[in-house]
Amino acid sequence: MNRSLYPITVDSVIFGYADRTLKVALIERKVDPFQGMWAIPGGFMEGDETVEETARRELLEETGLKDIYLEQFHVFSSHGRDPRGRTVTVAFFALIDSEKYHLIASEDALRAKWWPAYEIPPLAFHQEEIYNKGIEALRLAMRTRPLAFELLPTAFTFGELQALYEQVFNIKIDRRNFYRKMSKMDFICPSGKKQVGGKHRPGMLYHYNPQLYDAFSKETFFEYTARR
């Protein structure tokens, strides 16, 4: 039997949220192939690492990020993605509140930068397919699980929460319907405080309670009515 073994790489699509904008962290490559192009952070699996360990190591090495939410979403194995030879890529998406994290480029990258999620530059290694599937995976996950709160600060307004969902799903949401639905979710708890400063009108601050979510009826998480 003819068996072919290919190197395994791990890429992580890092989503952040700040200024009511969904963002993605990219690195500018320092070396060939694709020197000077922007890319999704990632690299080759080493030694006896698991793919999760490779993802976390590469994130730390290339962006300075650590201890953030990671979820595997797809495996890519098509020909022609890397001019050095065929690879198999395991892809993750990562979620953070980007206001809390300053990106630090490593020795492998010229720069690391947050980009608006729908205004990214051309990507090295034909990574647009990985990026697009990463957004699809994020949307699917956020329909069924409370992952929005991995992107938000600890205290947030309903306006910030609504803006996040509008950004992720790239739609407009009816404000009154959204607020009515969110008000029925006991795990989104009022803090008794209002937002201070900022660009928008001060609103009531809320926080997410994971213990209350555990007792919540697990049905389709959020459904939206787009403005007509």
Owning domain of residue 160: 154-214
The verdict on 85 and 161 lying in the same domain is no
Q: Which helix (H) or strand (E) element contains residue 204?
A: strand 204-208
Pairwise CA distance, residues 186 & 206, whole Å: 11
Q: Which residues contact 224 (CB under 8 A, 6 or more apart)?
A: 165, 169, 171, 173, 174, 177, 178
Q: What is the mean pLDDT of the chain?
A: 90
For residue 130, being part of any structural domain is answered with: yes
Q: What confidence tens digit (pLDDT) does each residue in 38-83 have?
A: 999 999 999 999 999 999 999 998 999 999 999 999 999 998 889 8
Q: 135: closest CA among 162, 170, 160?
A: 170
The verdict on 25 and 91 lying in the same domain is yes
Q: How many domains does the chain have?
A: 2
Tokens of 49: 């690492």
What's the confidence (pLDDT) of residue 157? 94
| Residue 217 pLDDT class (50, 70, 90 cuts) | low
Write down the H helix ranges in 35-84: 51-63
Pairwise CA distance, residues 90 & 85, whole Å: 16
Q: What confidence tens digit (pLDDT) does each residue in 7-43 have?
A: 999 999 999 999 999 999 999 999 999 999 999 999 9
Q: Which residues contact 118 (CB under 8 A, 6 or more apart)?
A: 22, 170
What's the confidence (pLDDT) of residue 200? 64
Pairwise CA distance, residues 177 & 224, whole Å: 8
What's the confidence (pLDDT) of residue 227? 47
Q: Which residues pair with 17 in a beta bridge?
A: 22
What CATH code is carried by the domain that includes residue 115? 3.90.79.10
Q: What confidence tens digit (pLDDT) does each residue in 132-184 have?
A: 999 999 999 999 899 999 999 999 999 999 999 999 999 999 999 999 989 88
**Is the per-residue pLDDT at 210 higher than 90?**
yes
